[in-house]
Amino acid sequence: MNAIFDPGTQLFLLSGLAAALFVLGTPLFLLMGVWVLGAQLIIDFPLASIGSGLFEGLNSFALLAAPLFILTGDLISKGGIARRMTEFSMSLLGWVRGGLGMSTIATCSMFAAISGSNSATTATIGSITYPSLRDQGYPSPFAAATSAAGGVVGIIIPPSILFIVYGHLTATPISELFLAGIIPGLLMSLVMLVTVYVVSRRRGYGQLHPFRVGRVAQTFPGVSIALAAGLIVLGGIYSGAFSPTEAAAVTVVYCLLAGFLMTRELSLRSLPNVILRSGMIVGIIMPLVAMSLLMQQVFAVIGFGAWLGEFISSLGGYYTVLFVSMMIVLIAGTLLESVPNTVILAPILAPVAIKAGVDPFHFAVVFMAGGSIGFITPPFGLNLYVASGITGIPYLQIARAVLPYLWSLLFIWMVIALLPALSVYLTQFAGR
Amino acid sequence: MGQTQGPNLLPSGRWGRFKAGAYRTLRYVDAHLEKGIILVAYTACAGIIAFEVGRRFLLDEQVSWSTTVPAYMFVWLTWPGAALAVRMRSHLAFNGVRQNLSRWGQYASMQIDYVLYLTFAFVAVYYSFELVQMHQNNFSSVPGTVDLPSWWFYLATPVGWSLLVLRVFQNAWEDFRAIRSGSDLRMAAGFGSLEG
């Protein structure tokens, strides 16, 4: 018996149904799985590939770095290391107008250099710095927005959980991706430091505190614990001592020891809860990765990637492809969270961009920087939600207060897109 | 106001004590099943790698399975983690529309999710278990080891998805009771619950 619709129309209807269910609130990883199941039935592709894909899609030593860095982030947070980083940067920048805001951004960047998550950065550093920001004359929405914006660099400055996922899905080396993110990540931090300085100076936010060498010296031992962790991660990887996954595992053990023996804020009683919190986040993120790989398999069979590539390429050359990709990432970032954005869009857009002549590492950074800006773009800016959750300030007030940061970040994103050397330059030192 | 008298739940006799013990055990397993697996798998992932890196630096030796077993344990971490996230209703979902539906609209949309979960889980368990059997029948071992059966690790997918099904039934039962009693339905946390 002939089907009423041809396979193409059936796939189109299936995708429409999936989109409707998405709007209705069905969990995304489930939708992706059901779409794959439906598509495989339509194109008559063996369902056994689902059974193997759910295992083999995750069976990767390189991808294992992601859960380990998730755990690192939680250990830094619960082990009191993040608080010490904040105290140090406050002692260093308190004398400048907007210094406390700047120290929030600086601490977020330091935190990002050990962990690899935007929202964890905002949640951890924001909850520490927000009360001080508010007490020192920063309006509450701007104080909350500063924490939300500061966290944006979490997935750009290495290590980055999303770079690991991106590398796994697009077969791009993770060590080089980490290197590619360093300069753009620091530039993003820099423009946010300038933004908080300019805004604070114009509007008279914050109080000035005299610079005291004694205070800096007093807080330095605390931050040295974090610096050592950063050294293990980046030094270990780029000296060739560790792979990214090994560096992540060693950092986990280091953060454990630091939490138990140095800061003494971790205990055997609290440890299982820290591990379980990370475990549930792994259970949320990693199924999306497995489902994305199954979707890619279907895309390859039906020739969707090739079709989309031809379509985008037909619009123009290098700059058109790059610009269209950036627009897609930006729009998707306002609607969706960065993990689904990455698992759905990266495998589709990266090959198209590379075919158009965009350097793979440059595209990865442009993609991820756009995705990270999505963390503070309404209606679904995750960091805005997180900042609202930890401060109690209404979401829309934070969304308005974050605008100066948003414009600065969009500007630097354009610069990063137009100057590939910013992303590519450091990758030449990989493996040396 | 006097206290309301409920049914007598105190165990009476040997059979009563057995029932109470079994109930306590069941409650404990229910609360800790995935958590136990996650703790063991996470610890194994980080522990094996860090320990073997240490051995490489200090003794200049490293077992070859130190890259394969942790990657396999990662699968044992992921699917039970996914089951736990189902129970906690933390999976990523766009919940803006659902939160504004009527109670019955919310209930109906949650039932659609459960049907989809069960449909996909059936395929996932069936075919992943087929893979387990294949590895078992072939006596295949984990790369880097001589006789560590690989099916122990391939079992992670069917077990994880079976746990997920169990959690789906629990949530469905919870929702059914909530809709009948008129209390609030427990909704997914939405985007705010995710690490990025």
Q: How far is A14 from chain B (nearest CA, A)?
A: 14
Instruction: State the first-to-last Cα distance of chain B, in angstroms, to the nearest integer.
Output: 52
Q: Hey, is the C-beta of B104 within 8 angstroms of any chain A C-beta? A: no
Over its C-alpha atoms, chain A yields an Rg (Å, rounded) of 22
Locate B84 and state its tokens.
Answer: 């736990």
CB contact under 8 A, A25 and B35: no
Instruction: State the DSSP H helix or E strand holding residue A204, giving kind and residue range, or none if neither.
Output: none
Rounded Cα gap, residues A24 and A38, in angstroms: 19
pLDDT in tens, A313-328: 788 888 998 999 999 9
DSSP-assigned states of every residue in B154-177 = HTHHHHHHHHHHHHHHHHHHHHHH
Structural tokens at position B9: 């739940």
**Shortest alpha-carbon distance between residue B117 and chain A (Å):** 7
Q: Is the pTM of this model over 0.90?
A: no
Mean pLDDT of B41-55: 95
Question: Mean pLDDT score of chain A, rounded to an integer?
Answer: 88
Which of A55, A295, A380 should we substitute to test contact with B (largest number of B Cβ atoms within 10 Å)? A55
Residues across chain B: 196
Note the pLDDT tens digit of each residue in A14-30. 999 999 998 898 998 99
Of A48, A58, A117, nearest to B196 by CB-CB distance is A117
Q: Mutation test of the interface with chain A: which of B65, B133, B195, choosing the one with the most A Cβ atoms within 10 A?
A: B195
B156 touches chain A (CB under 8 A): yes
pLDDT at B191: 43
Cα–Cα distance between A282 and B77 in angstroms, integer? 8
Q: How far is CA A409 from CA A15, A190, A366, B162, in A?
A: 33, 10, 12, 44
pLDDT score, position B196: 36
Are A54 and B91 a contacting pair at CB < 8 A?
A: no
What's A58's DSSP letter?
T
Q: Is A382 on the interface with B (CB under 8 A)?
A: yes
pLDDT in tens, A82-106: 888 888 888 888 888 888 899 889 8
Q: Which residues of B touch A276 (CB under 8 A)?
A: 35, 38-39, 84
Q: For residue B141, list its beta bridge partners.
A: B149
B113/A27 CB distance under 8 A = yes
Cα–Cα distance, A310 to A304 (Å, whole number)? 10
Contact A155, A117 (CB under 8 A): yes
From its phi and psi, is residue A22 left (phi > 0), alpha (psi between -120 and 50) or beta?
Answer: alpha
pLDDT at B178: 93
Q: Quickly count: other Cβ atoms within 10 Å of residue A151's Cβ.
A: 33
A161 touches chain B (CB under 8 A): yes
> Chain A contact for B188, CB < 8 A?
yes
Let me know if A124 is exposed, middle or buried by CB neighbors in 10 A (0-12, 13-18, 19+).
buried
Tokens 């705010």, located at residue:
B192
Q: Is the peptide bond before A159 cis (omega within 30 degrees of 0)?
A: yes
Least Cα separation, residue A423 to chain B (angstroms): 21
A173: contact with B, CB 8 A cutoff:
no
Cβ–Cβ contacts within 10 Å for residue A328, how many?
17
CA-wise closest residue to A47 among A61, A66, A28, A34: A34
Q: Which burial class, exposed, middle or buried, applies to A83 when counting CB atoms under 10 A from its CB (0-12, 13-18, 19+)?
A: buried
